[in-house]
Structure 1
Amino acid sequence: MAEFGGETLHGFSTFGFDEHDLADPEVFARWLDREARQRRVGVDGFVPATVWWIIDDAAPDVVLGSIQLRHELNDYLLAEGGHIGYGVRPSARGRGVASAALQLCLSEARELGIERVLIVCDADNPASRATILAAGGVLENAPGDIERYWIDLDGGAGSP
């Protein structure tokens, strides 16, 4: 976590937790418990979601980042958050980590029956924009400081 410095961590929800406190094993264990419950039923008014850690096979003790798939959209996610969020540690950026994780996440979205996936990025994040475009993202609009992209998936069964 220290590598991120004061930068905002994207890709997983830390609501109720300070992301920089996750280095504390007890705080991390409570966060993991919440994430496990979130996957099944949604917690505290949030939609069901799945978070994956991005790990380098060559160095399995190093977390390169994370990616989250929200199984459905509520009003907030439709406007600003999207189905998928991801973040990659600074030292792993520019190596295709986000692109590979996004492809795997899109496969999981298909398995869940989602037909169209919304991905939102900050307007000042050209790397994330490039990742989304390379995955087939089509810009719908750019309200304020964000850009909203849709990716159509084959064979899904339900999405707004």
Structure 2
Amino acid sequence: MENLTLIPPIKANKTAILAFKNEFFQAGERAINGSALLDQMDYEEWLENIRRNADSQTVREDWVVSSTFLAVREQDQRIVGIVDLRHSLGQPFLAEYGGHIGYAVRPSERGKSYAVQILSLALEAAQKLGLEAVMLGCYADNMGSIKTMLKCGGVLKEEKPYIDGKPMCIYWITIKEGPVRRLIEKDTERAAEIVNHCWKTTYAGYVDPVQLGEVWCGKRSEAIKDEFRTNGLENYVFDEKGVKGILSCGKSADADKTDAFELWRIYVDPAFQAQGIGSKLLAFAEALARKRNYQEMVIWAFEKNKNACRFYKKHGYKPDITQHLGENFNAEGLRFIKSL
């Protein structure tokens, strides 16, 4: 899967956008979600519509201020999808069903995880607007959209009949809660810096020195960037006058704990440790797990990392099992669990 970027439509996009639109029609799809009525207007009329909707002084009376973007593949500039970001829910349909974000992936590009990347980029744009949470809706049988929302941190809040009587689901995604917010692309360098700094200062002595060298630090940096692009994990940062900590979490990969929520990574810049930041990130992760009806948390730590082990025990985690972590680590991994 190639990287996408969001760009506003312009006149020069006309040929590509009309081809994008026609692909939906040829596939028998007459409605294009998140297109700001591209499926109902000619091109010039549509451009004027999204221009007017982008300004509070000219937005249509029956809509809210919104930003419409094309999701373009960086490699070849092909339009992969479209997304409409509504700045508020100050309209009955949006508050009841439509939500803050609508999006669509063109038929020929589906099944390639682009929907996750498009929604992640839309969430970044929402964060820049100052939104702290966003609402999305879809039909209850649209498993592709549901999986996308869940992968991006969605929590099911309501299931109800849509206008046509079909059941639909309403999801909310948290963007920011206090100083903890979603990691966005511009944070990746800082997040990688924190992780690598913690490895060098904490794991020296029981991790192969090669793992602490520049080559492996570079690999970890790329892994964090890749996680952001693919949403392999949910990544958050503690941002209080600058990014001071990083949290990565998601469904547990342990074969015997598939119903648990796992804290995959929690690091605080050594310059800001012992200030309660780690505890706040941990509490945030546990709150996420509870919202999603998980009943157990899982965390792995190096058994020799006494400070981390004390930290987790202090917060109610109990040692569970140990596991050798491979030839690059001169230490056992210790799993902690906690019932929620």
Q: Normalised by the size of structure 2, how large is the TM-score?
A: 0.41
For 1:147, the equivalent position in structure 2 comes to 169
Aligned residue among 19, 23, 26 for 1:3? 23
1:1-160 alignment runs, 5 A limit: 1-4=21-24, 5=26, 6-7=28-29, 8-14=31-37, 19=39, 27-41=42-56, 42-60=59-77, 62-73=78-89, 74-144=91-161, 145-154=167-176
CA deviations on 1:76-109 (whole Å, 9 max, x unpaired) are: 2111100000000111111121111111111111
Distance in 2 (alpha carbons) for counterparts of 1:47 and 1:155 = 24
Give the deviation of 1:115 after TM superposition: 1.3
Distance in 1 (alpha carbons) for counterparts of 2:135 and 2:106 = 23
Distance in 1 (alpha carbons) for counterparts of 2:121 and 2:81 = 14
For the residue of structure 2 that corresponds to 1:102, the secondary structure is helix
Kindly provide the amino acid, as one letter, of the partner of residue 80 in structure 2: L
Report if the CA contact (8 A) 2:81-2:118 is conserved. no
Greater Rg, structure 1 or structure 2?
A: 2
Distance in 2 (alpha carbons) for counterparts of 1:67 and 1:114 = 16
For the residue of structure 2 that corresponds to 1:10, the secondary structure is coil
Higher alpha-carbon deviation: 36-45 or 111-120: 36-45
Higher alpha-carbon deviation: 1-10 or 81-90: 1-10
Distance in 2 (alpha carbons) for counterparts of 1:139 and 1:57 = 32
Give the deviation of 1:155 after TM superposition: 5.5
CA deviations on 1:19-71 (whole Å, 9 max, x unpaired) are: 1x65xxxx2012111101101122232100001011122222x3211011100
For the residue of structure 1 that corresponds to 2:43, the secondary structure is helix
For the residue of structure 2 that corresponds to 1:53, the secondary structure is strand
Kindly provide the amino acid, as one letter, of the partner of residue 23 in structure 2: E
For the residue of structure 1 that corresponds to 2:169, the secondary structure is strand
For 2:218, the equivalent position in structure 1 comes to none
For the residue of structure 2 that corresponds to 1:94, the secondary structure is coil
Q: Cα RMSD (Å) of the superposition?
A: 1.7
Give the deviation of 1:120 after TM superposition: 0.6
Kindly provide the amino acid, as one letter, of the partner of residue 72 in structure 1: S
Please list every run of 5 or more consecutive structure 1 residues that lacks an aligned counterpart in the other structure: none
Distance in 2 (alpha carbons) for counterparts of 1:112 and 1:93 = 28
Segments of 4+ moved more than 4 angstroms: none
Report if the CA contact (8 A) 1:113-1:155 is conserved. no
Q: Percent identity?
A: 35
For the residue of structure 2 that corresponds to 1:40, the secondary structure is coil
Kindly provide the amino acid, as one letter, of the partner of residue 39 in structure 1: A
Distance in 1 (alpha carbons) for counterparts of 2:139 and 2:36 = 16
Between 1 and 2, higher relative CO (CA 8 Å, sep ≥ 6) is seen in: 1
